[in-house]
Chain A
């Protein structure tokens, strides 16, 4: 949002390069301003930074531990290293830990980050068999592993409604869908984090199916999901059939015809068929959000 009052500028140093940013901006903002490419996974520019994934950590001179650049506010005089051994180590390990426990096949950038930091997820061993009871695991209890296989978050696809599917085996637990469903965007509160530790998962109350829950199918969770764990049914089906072809898709920005708000919608079209709908995150009214009509109400366009 545009600041209403002029803000003070402060100077920080990123890898030896001085840069001036507005007071209140983050180290990530500063990094981007000087062109330092910083990996992010859980960061979403329309939501409060949750700094859960820790792939964006940087080294602030004088600090005991690394700082998440996505949320740490720049302070005057901060000297920041973005490519020190410690930073590279943490980023590599975060990518190893995530890649070895989560299906990142539909997470854009994940493979690139893993390669950039030389992550070797295979060294934790072959993936363990999925735990069929992930939705019911008790906090503070787990079956002792033998170390021969690496535990993963793999779980059965949740396919319980007409509009989108949830594949939490792809979930990195970034909290963005929860924040978007809750107080930051939609105020519907259909989902939360349940359980604890490695067994924590996104869940409705008592893991009930979405049609029983408070979900209003705005799809704003899909909009912010960085991993493809939440996916339009149309995209999911195309992917399952092997016909998903992003190179063949066009994106058309238009205005939702349903009401007078005038939300921008981006229609993703493949072979003359709308396969998913997004909304520009930088739109200062809707900030990427839509309602069920704008998000899913496109079938009438393609009735033939």
Chain B
């Protein structure tokens, strides 16, 4: 490939940041100092050089973290190192909200403006920032900091939330949750972030807990403590069963994916294991970005070895030697915990070329997302890992045959994977005794908004919405419940009279609702529902990848229609706007490439049809 690069050189810091991720350049051909005695005789390029494309996102992250933005010189150097055309690298960099190709100060605070944080006063917080600093993107007086609005940061149990990123060497990332305008202003002025909140779950110590039983109790940094608490027994059981035996147990358990689509995990694993094409890959989807979702964070921060062990089992069962954990970029504490756990497991022979001396290889690599909800879509993850724009692919072909790097790929959500530990401890049939016939096992739910005790909860499938609300202490302050958002922004609203809804896959389906990612967000009677819908519409407009017309333009037209309903300046009256929203919803559902577009209208439409918002129902 004949690269045309601009003359802008990288700074020493940018070059160093890239070289730390990619290693030093091998020759003048890939960005090193030119040595005419060698470089004029040997050309390093071709497939080998282009084969490093998947390192593009880590390299862009390295520069972003060191310099605070990606300058033309830095982008050019990355392109030289990886043999990537600069236009394509720019296309990738500008796809992600946490990367910037425009100059940015080193210190940036991302302030959550999403649903749960709204219930906790984020709008006031943002108004104060606008008053004291200026609109988002305004530099502080010293020019060293700025702030931006952010979609859901996954900290809804401790809202309102913000994330501070400070570029440098080392770069730091800290979550501020719960936070306040004063605290955000303090870090904008250069103050240190307060110590990160510890992992806590409201049910801590409850003996009925399974997936969460170690969270908050066992030291997440200690492999010995994890083993003492039963860790790595499941992997031993797996090895004694053999790969087919593991798949059989998972099928007997009737485990269904917890990411939202509820696909049978055993069927997926079996299909991947049977593919003759090699290598196979395993990917853990830890990009939970659905507004109101934070359950995977609780597991990764509180019990990271569980995920490492579960993925090792999944790798063993599917014949994958390499696993990726695609972790959302807004989870610094989870990243740290997981990074440590992987290193520990590797040093003890629990990952690597010969896992536990059992003769199979498996290793793990974290890939850090960079602020794109769409990268929770499985095929978008493949593209993101490969160093392409995180746009979903058309299906078919499906991931089991053509996944990441066009190889057979098993991709599962964090919660799905850790369930496998339970299955191998209890046996598939034993696992299936919990829950209902069609929804086996336990389920994690993310309670947030106006509830007394927000947090991650675990209950057997079959519990009702009321049970969960009661577990969380009911509506905060005893106020009347206005509505519950079930399943996240891609889910739907349900009424206060529907609390007996059984939270199972089949129960939700029968009620024309979805469990989605397990979001249960309660809103009391003070919430301005139309404004909330405007935020949901804005979310999908911001997060659409832009690939297909129904979603790219439909999410904009949907937002404009909601805006008109808010302003009262409707076209064709309220009924006309509601009809328009329904028409937009149908084309997005029918004709979008992926699940984002297909669900971009579901919450808004449910508020209209189920709650009667805009037509005299809920206020």
Chain A contacts to B: CB under 8 angstroms: 51-55, 57, 65-66, 68, 71, 73, 86, 89-90, 93-94, 97-98, 100-101, 123-125, 136, 138-142, 144-148, 150-151, 172-173, 182, 187, 189-200, 203-206, 208, 212-214
Known: A145-B563, A205-B75. A193 touches B389 (CB 8 A): yes
Known A93-B583, A145-B563, A147-B560: A54·B550 in contact at CB below 8 Å: yes
Q: Which residues of chain A have C-beta atoms less than 8 A from B556's C-beta?
A: 101, 145, 151, 198
Q: Which of B148, B542, B557, B567 contacts A97 (CB 8 A)?
A: B557
Which A residue's beta carbon lies closest to that of B576?
Answer: A123
Q: Complex Cα distance A189/B89, Å? A: 10
Q: Is the CB of B394 within 8 A of A68?
A: yes
Give 8 nearest A-B pairs by CB, closest first.
A189-B85, A140-B97, A147-B563, A192-B91, A200-B546, A214-B4, A147-B564, A93-B587
The answer to whether A142 and B583 touch across the interface, beta carbons within 8 angstroms, is: no
Name the residue in B91, B371, B548, B593 with the highest tally of chain A Cβ atoms < 10 Å from its Cβ: B91
Contacts A/B (CB < 8 Å), 17 sampled: A54-B593, A86-B590, A94-B549, A97-B587, A98-B553, A101-B556, A141-B542, A142-B542, A144-B563, A145-B556, A145-B559, A147-B561, A147-B567, A173-B546, A189-B85, A194-B94, A198-B553
A residues within 8 A CB of B94? 139, 194-196, 203
Report the Cα distance A190→B2, complex, angstroms: 11
| Interface contact B587-A195, CB-CB below 8 Å | no
Residue of chain B at shortest CB distance from A99? B553
A57-B591, A124-B560, A196-B94 known; A93+B1 contact, CB < 8 A: no
Residues of A within 8 A of B371 (CB): 139-140
Residue B421 at the A interface, CB < 8 A?
A: no
Prevailing SS type, chain A contact patch: loop
| B96 close to A (CB within 8 Å) | yes
Pairwise interchain contact A197-B544, C-beta atoms closer than 8 A = yes
Pair A189/B88 contact, Cβ less than 8 Å: yes
Contact A146 B550 (CB under 8 A): no
Chain B residues in the interface with A (C-beta under 8 A): 1-4, 6, 72, 75, 85-91, 94-97, 100-102, 136, 148-149, 151, 371-372, 389, 394, 396, 534, 538, 541-550, 552-557, 559-567, 569, 571-572, 580, 583-584, 586-587, 589-593, 598
Interface contact A66-B590, CB-CB below 8 Å: yes
Q: Are A214 and B102 in contact (CB under 8 A)?
A: no
Given contacts A150-B560, A196-B94, A197-B541, contact A71 B394 (CB under 8 A): yes
Residue in A172, A194, A204 whose CB lies within 8 Å of B549: A172
* A192 in complex: contacting residue of B87, B546, B572, CB < 8 Å: B87
- Extra contacts, 14 of them, besides A66-B590, A196-B372 (Cβ < 8 A), are A53-B548, A94-B550, A94-B591, A97-B557, A101-B556, A141-B542, A142-B538, A146-B564, A147-B561, A195-B94, A200-B546, A200-B552, A203-B87, A214-B85
Asked whether A197 and B542 contact (CB < 8 A) given A141-B97, A147-B560, A147-B569, the answer is: yes
A244 and B553 CA atoms in complex are apart in Å by: 31
A148 to B568, CA, bound (A): 10
Number of A-B contacts (CB under 8 A): 207
Residues of B within 8 A of A66 (CB): 590-591
Q: Name the one of B91, B542, B557, B564 contacting A148, with C-beta atoms under 8 angstroms.
A: B564
Which chain B positions have C-beta within 8 A of A200?
545-547, 552
- Asked if A93 and B87 make an inter-chain contact with CB atoms under 8 angstroms apart, the answer reads no
CA distance A147 to B556 in the complex (A): 10
Whole-angstrom distance between the Cβ of B134 and the nearest chain A Cβ: 15
A193 touches B546 (CB 8 A): yes
Nearest Cβ on chain B to A154's Cβ, whole angstroms = 14
Asked whether A93 lies within 8 Å of B554 as measured between CB atoms, the reply is yes
Distance, CA A155 to CA B396, complexed state (A): 36
Interface centre among A136, A139, A141, A187 (most CB of B within 10 A): A139
A140 touches B557 (CB 8 A): no
Q: Is the CB of B546 within 8 A of A199?
A: yes
Shortest Cβ distance from residue B399 to the other chain A in the assembled complex, whole angstroms: 17
A90 near B590: Cβ-Cβ < 8 Å:
yes
Contacting pair A193 B590 (CB below 8 A): no
Q: Which chain B positions have C-beta within 8 A of A205?
A: 6, 72, 75, 86-87, 89-90
Residues of chain A with a CB closer than 8 A to B592's CB? 54, 65
Measured between alpha carbons, how far is A270 from B583 in the docked complex, in Å? 45
A132 to B3 CA separation, bound complex (whole angstroms): 30
What is the CB-to-nearest-CB distance from B57 to chain A, in angstroms, rounded to a whole number? 14
A124 to B571, alpha carbons, bound, how many Å?
8
Contact B148 A141 (CB under 8 A): yes
**Do A65 and B543 contact each other (CB < 8 Å), given the known contacts A191-B87, A195-B94, A204-B87?**
no
On whether the beta carbons of A138 and B97 are closer than 8 Å, the reply is yes
Which residues on B sit within 8 Å (CB–CB) of A142?
Answer: 538, 541-542
Chain B, Cβ-Cβ closest to A94: B549
A90 in complex: contacting residue of B538, B553, B587, CB < 8 Å:
B587
**Which residues of chain B are near A52, meaning CB under 8 Å?**
547-549, 593
Among B538, B553, B564, B598, point to the contact of A65 (Cβ < 8 A): B598
Q: State A140–B4 Cα separation when bound (angstroms).
A: 29
**Complex contacts, B1 vs chain A, CB 8 Å:** 187, 189
Q: B352 → chain A, closest Cβ, in Å?
A: 36
> Could you say which residues of chain A place their CB within 8 Å of the CB of B590?
57, 65-66, 86, 89-90
Residue numbers in A under 8 Å from B389 (CB-CB)? 193
Q: Which residue of B lies closest to A140 (CB)?
A: B97
Bound Cα distance from A93 to B548, whole angstroms = 13
Closest to B75 in A: A205
Q: Given the complex, which residues of B lie within 8 Å of A146, measured CB to CB?
A: 563-564, 567, 569
A91, chain B: closest CB distance, angstroms:
9
Task: Tell me the nearest residue of chain B to A207, going by C-beta.
Answer: B90
Contacts of A100 in B (CB 8 A): 553, 557
Q: Can you name the residue of chain A whose Cβ is closest to the Cβ of B538? A: A144
CB contact under 8 A between A203 and B560, given known A93-B554, A98-B549, A138-B97: no
A84 to B584, CA, bound (A): 17
Please indicate the chain B residues that have their CB under 8 angstroms from the CB of A123 in the complex.
571-572, 580
Q: Report chain B residues within 8 Å CB of A203.
A: 87, 90-91, 94
Q: What is the minimal beta-carbon distance from A211 to any residue of chain B, in angstroms?
A: 11
- Residues on A with C-beta less than 8 A from B372 are 139-140, 196
Q: Are B549's CB and A151's CB within 8 A?
A: no
Closest-by-CB residue of B relative to A150 is: B560
| Max chain B Cβ within 10 angstroms of own Cβ: one of A55, A140, A189 | A140
- Residues of A contacting B562 in the complex (Cβ-Cβ under 8 angstroms): 147
A214, B88: Cα distance in complex, Å: 12
Q: Given the complex, which residues of B lie within 8 Å of A145, measured CB to CB?
A: 556, 559-560, 563
A169 and B334 alpha carbons, distance in the complex (Å): 43
Q: In the complex, what residues of B have CB within 8 A of residue A90's CB?
A: 550, 586-587, 590-591
Most interface-central of B543, B557, B571, B584 (chain A CB within 10 A): B557
Q: Which residue of B lies closest to A97 (CB)?
A: B553
Residue on A nearest B91 in the bound complex, by CB: A192
Cβ–Cβ < 8 Å partners of B72 in chain A: 205-206
Known contacts A139-B97, A196-B95; A51 and B593 CB within 8 A of each other: yes
Contacting residues, chain A, for B101 (C-beta < 8 A): 206
Specify which of A51, A55, A140 is in contact with B542 (CB 8 Å cutoff): A140
Question: In the docked arrangement, what's the CA distance between A148 and B565, Å?
Answer: 11
**Which residue of A has the minimal Cβ distance to B96?**
A139
In the complex formed, the residue of A with least CB distance to B370 is A139
Find out whether the CB atom of A93 lies under 8 angstroms from the CB atom of B89: no
Question: Which residues of chain A are within 8 angstroms of B560 by Cβ–Cβ distance?
Answer: 124-125, 145, 147, 150-151
Residues of A with C-beta under 8 A to B549: 52-55, 94, 97-98, 172
| Contacting residues, chain B, for A94 (C-beta < 8 A) | 549-550, 587, 591
Report the bound CA distance from A52 to B3 in whole Å.
28
Give A89 to B589 CA distance when docked, in angstroms.
12
Nearest-neighbour CB distance to chain B for A183, whole angstroms, equals 9
Name the distance in Å between A16's Cβ and chain B's nearest Cβ: 21
B contact residues around A208 at 8 Å (CB): 6
